[in-house]
Structure 1
């Protein structure tokens, strides 16, 4: 695998020098300063690339080139938005950047309910808890029709929990969910979040899938010509949330998308943590079956808990069988004669980073630990395969 790390640009507390010393050779980044729906100028892309190369690294993958909500809802300005997306792809290709990550999650990107959940060793992890999401949805946001999305038992637990919370705890939960996590495309106030959800009142899962297909049919021919692979990041968490459909959550979802849009540029960012939050996703098997479409890897492991909760485990722990998963990736790379960009994802906040200002999930030391573990695992698997 080609070892990379995500970097959020010049304001990231983790520097390019830090990433290089961690052993990565590639950078995964985006022009976060540019508003969703606007064209990424060639000059800005070239300047970011030059800065990365001056640090002795390579801009390997774009993560992410955002898909505007107007594309996801098929709004009136859909044609203009897709044309600007195509132009951004043209500008990226002109700078020789050929792997572009995106997602098709409505309104909110990846979502957690706790950004500092204590682990037994004293490190802090990200956690999603469906009960906490229900507290926010039912009692803070007070979304119309929310009650039907939760079981009576969960509604009762959420009510008791809400009434036991302080106002500070309620505010923290709301900020965690809607204020925007690293790499998220939007941040919201409560009123703005309600308005954004309302845009999807008439967009169910079937309509969202159709809009996703329409988007790919509009941009993939250009991507094909440019030699760009668009890799879709799966839903995180991989199930409907706050009444919003999510349609890139399972192997069947992804396989159907490839069948509908067979262009070679229609690819997958395989996120082991996102897919792994569902027990019905067979991670090594998905590598074997979908491998020719995989252009980027996020390797992390979650520990599933009862009642729809999960937390970020250490990279070699949790529910993902990382040994089997990396072995499947090794077979894929040998079979296709390529090295796939990989980044360790969502490391624990640990050691000296506990006393520093860090981006949730993207502190240096937890990701560096994960990268080292994954590097050793891959080399061990490669060595054993060579002996057979």
Structure 2
């Protein structure tokens, strides 16, 4: 596996120097400041490449931008409203500009409104570490009582709704505000702190978009962008829904193995691929991550390796972000399946035999606590996760060499 690291740009508290000391081999980043739907220009791409080329003292870092995460797909494209056609053209132009800059892998998602959802961004563990958590009762309390979405109460089973009513009644104003902020953090424009009215407007824009409509709109998008990617030698890899079940009455189309199989078959070209995120997919008990890697591995272009622990096996379920070798996904079996796929690719002579991987998320530990980094992206917590994943890979290679 190619060991990469997500970086949020020059303002990221985790620096290029930190990445190098963690031992990473490449960088995953994006032009977060460029408005969604507009073109990523050659100048902006080059500027970001230059940003990561040097350490603080000017010494060359030797690191390069290897994976884009993410080139955003606008809400207009997902709903096929407004300037959606020009947004697709801009997406293709951005892809061409990235190709010209030497970048070959683009991660993106097709989640409506929500990029990711958590109810707690710094949930305390018994060790004192902090992690992100999705609590279904807290989320129901937000949906029903804070957002006051029409029909929200009917979206939850009776026991969850009743528990949410009690939970909300016991919250003070500060906790209610914190909960709303945590959920909104995963929405587009979160840095500007969207109001509940803004969120309701975004949800209203999806009123005509059923599950079937979103799937068709996704296929329309793939039919336009994938042939260009195939011609260029680019690899597109869709990230799964996070979490992988419906929220806020919105459709979800990338939550299971069947969803991925359907999207891959819709435009059956090698460029149309998968970001296999073991954390997002692992929030459902019926997603078999090692099996998915074995069955769909030929189209996996990017790996997010993290682990979650569910409170139970209902769908949806509450969960928290566990240690990389904790949680309920068998990470050793998953990495074993990844290495088997890489061996198969080398035998075929594929240029992409080595799959880029990043240690996704991590718990805040030691000096991460109080650093003020991006939620889920601490320096030391990810370093610990990367070391554990690297150790598993080394042990599996050693086992294979000894046979």
TM-score normalised by L of structure 1: 0.98
Deviation string, structure 1 residues 142-181 (Cα, Å, up to 9, x no partner):
0001122101111111111111100100000000001347
Tell me the secondary structure at the aligned position of residue 262 of structure 1.
Answer: coil
Partner of 1:163: 169
Deviation string, structure 1 residues 324-371 (Cα, Å, up to 9, x no partner):
011001101111021111000110000111132221100100000000
- 8 Å Cα contact 1:295-1:340 kept in structure 2: yes
Unaligned runs of 5+ in 2: 55-60, 347-352
**Match among 82, 85, 89 for residue 91 of structure 2:** 85
Residues 19-34 of structure 1: pairs in structure 2 closer than 5 A: 19-34=19-34
The question of 1:375 aligning with 2:390 is answered: yes
Partner of 1:349: 364
Partner of 1:37: 37
Partner of 1:326: 335
CA distance in 2 between partners of 1:130 and 1:247 (Å): 20
CA-based RMSD of the aligned residues comes to: 1.5
**Match among 276, 285, 299 for residue 291 of structure 2:** 285
Tell me the secondary structure at the aligned position of residue 286 of structure 1.
Answer: helix
**Residue range with higher mean Cα deviation, 59-68 or 257-266:** 257-266
Partner of 2:309: 303
CA distance in 2 between partners of 1:85 and 1:274 (Å): 25
Q: Residues 248 and 332 (structure 1 numbering): CA distance in 2 closer, same or farther, change over 3 Å?
A: same
- 8 Å Cα contact 2:25-2:63 kept in structure 1: yes
For these two proteins, the number of residue pairs brought into alignment is: 388
CA distance in 2 between partners of 1:161 and 1:272 (Å): 30
- 8 Å Cα contact 1:182-1:360 kept in structure 2: no
Partner of 2:344: 335
**Residue range with higher mean Cα deviation, 179-188 or 60-69:** 179-188
Deviation string, structure 1 residues 61-83 (Cα, Å, up to 9, x no partner):
00000000000001132211110
Tell me the secondary structure at the aligned position of residue 108 of structure 2.
Answer: strand
- 8 Å Cα contact 2:123-2:133 kept in structure 1: yes
- 8 Å Cα contact 2:181-2:193 kept in structure 1: no
Unaligned runs of 5+ in 1: none
What's the CA shift for 1:305? 0.6
Partner of 1:109: 115
- 8 Å Cα contact 1:64-1:183 kept in structure 2: no
TM-score normalised by L of structure 2: 0.94
Residues 236-315 of structure 1: pairs in structure 2 closer than 5 A: 236-306=242-312, 308-315=317-324
